Structure 1
């Protein structure tokens, strides 16, 4: 499991298809890790793109920190990772709070972002939406365990399970993560989304409580398209293949060589 040093922080990363023409950097949500993409979505994207996944600070196998979970710091982490990997420009994919990190990064450094995919980004001022993130973290852990077993053909040991639970307890109880998320409650109303230069794909669950946020973003972002996916906030778990194919179709518009059905 590659651990690299980025701005004196240890970051767990996974890369697929390094030789591809274009790069997709994938940002997971709070209280999860890169495996939300690794098992099902990333391998499909990697048929056509160089895919970079990483664990956010204090998540998965990345180094733990007590603070710095606001969007300014988290977007700086994304750009620093791109610098460390010598990636000049990339497509960004972000899920849940990771979608807000992707939006912030695209607004902050438009010259570094090719196209943008926002999956189920919540409105931070909606308390119900913030609670969804807590609920999602529990479902994510169950999904992670199930996929670990399916992929490795062995059951996750008690020690690994306990390690995961300790990570969540650390995040919930010993960091500024929740306070930093609450500090961002007005993010979507304070930024000028009409200035977003990257063409943007918005993927939201047709039954998701976050769907109104997707519809609002679609109205505000000039180069946006909204696709509704069957399911709720957990669509990466519920419809990973559909999400991957929808992303490929969207991103393929910028490839010099058009994708064919049998490509890769």
Structure 2
């Protein structure tokens, strides 16, 4: 799918199984792009749902802008994207800072959100949050280049690395991304987060520095469940099949039991 013009931004969007009965929108983290889901996890979910992926502003193939990386602006972009695609309501899956975007959507536009899957959502009040995201996003980009980019020729790999380096330089030096993320320090303590009633799955790498963030969210969101998977903050890249299976169990299995009339506790 080409670039989509929204009221305030131009976003690169990809869809899998557009005829799916329901929709899951997947939000990547800061300093990465939709490829974190596209090659492994999204195709697993697309067997059951319409799956929408997009590059957030300043990332991937979306428009490069200097401001608007706070959660309110990010969720306005997502709401506008849903409006443009004719999506009245969707389940959300968000990784890292994208998980905070998903949570913010549930507080701002609860009528537009079904289930929530939060993967490695960091507590913005932690001083190391930005460093964690930066470090593991670089690891993701290297993994992407080595496994999915056209690196059969040295020059192709070099061009991809240079492109990623330019993205980092732009985001760190020419945008408000740092101050916008720092401005969200009180987010986990927002009463609106504790008021989220959506079924929520919290997935964290058992070796991740963000596990305490998962435990905090689990203690504050009533209808939530915390799952620890093998890996660290970059667990979607390290264990895509494990994460995909957890998401299918969460999003798909319960819905299918409702449709078929099977008992909720069946094996």
TM-score, normalised via structure 1 length: 0.93
Give the SS at the match of 1:127.
coil
Once the two structures are TM-superposed, the CA of residue 147 in structure 1 deviates from its matched residue by 2.5
**What is residue 126 of structure 2 aligned with on the other side?**
126
Instruction: Map Cα deviations across residues 168-199 of structure 1 (whole Å, 9 max, x no partner).
Output: 11001000001100011111112333310211
- With normalisation by structure 2, the TM-score equals 0.92
- Rounded Cα–Cα distance in structure 2 between residues aligned with 1:27 and 1:239: 17
Cα deviation for residue 158 of structure 1 reads 3.1
Taking a change above 3 Å as real, the CA distance of residues 153 and 44 of structure 1, as seen in their structure-2 partners, is farther
Deviation, 1:167, is 1.5
Partner of 2:231: 231
For residues 119 and 92 of structure 1, what CA distance do their matches in structure 2 show?
Answer: 11
Q: How does 1:69-148 map to 2 (within 5 A)?
A: 69-148=69-148
Which blocks of at least 5 consecutive residues in structure 1 are unaligned? 259-264
Matches within 5 A, 1:150-165: 154-155=152-153, 156-165=156-165
Q: CA distance change for structure 1 residues 126 and 84 in 2, over 3 Å: closer, same or farther?
A: same
Measured in 2, the distance between the counterparts of 1:191 and 1:82 equals: 26
Deviation of 1:10 (Å): 1.5
Corresponding residue for residue 176 of structure 1: 176
Aligned twin of 2:265 = none
- State the alpha-carbon separation in 2 of the partners of residues 143 and 167 from structure 1: 16
2 CA distance for matches of 1:76 and 1:254?
A: 28
- Deviation, structure 1 residue 242: 0.8
Q: Quick one: distance in 1 between partners of 2:117 and 2:32?
A: 18
Q: Is the 8 A contact 1:115 1:251 kept in 2?
A: yes
Distance (Å, rounded) in 2 between the aligned partners of 1:191 and 1:130: 23
Aligned to 2:210: 210
Aligned-CA RMSD value: 1.8
Q: Post-superposition shift, 1:257?
A: 3.6
Report the Cα distance in structure 1 between the residues aligned to 2:143 and 2:176, rounded to whole angstroms.
Answer: 26
Q: CA deviation at 1:49?
A: 0.8
Q: What is the Cα deviation at residue 8 of structure 1?
A: 4.5
Determine the C-alpha separation between the residues in 2 that align with 1:216 and 1:161: 36
Number of the residue aligned with 1:254: 255
Q: Deviation per CA, 1:97-131: give whole Å up to 9, x if none.
A: 00001000011111000100000000101112321
2:188 aligned partner: 188
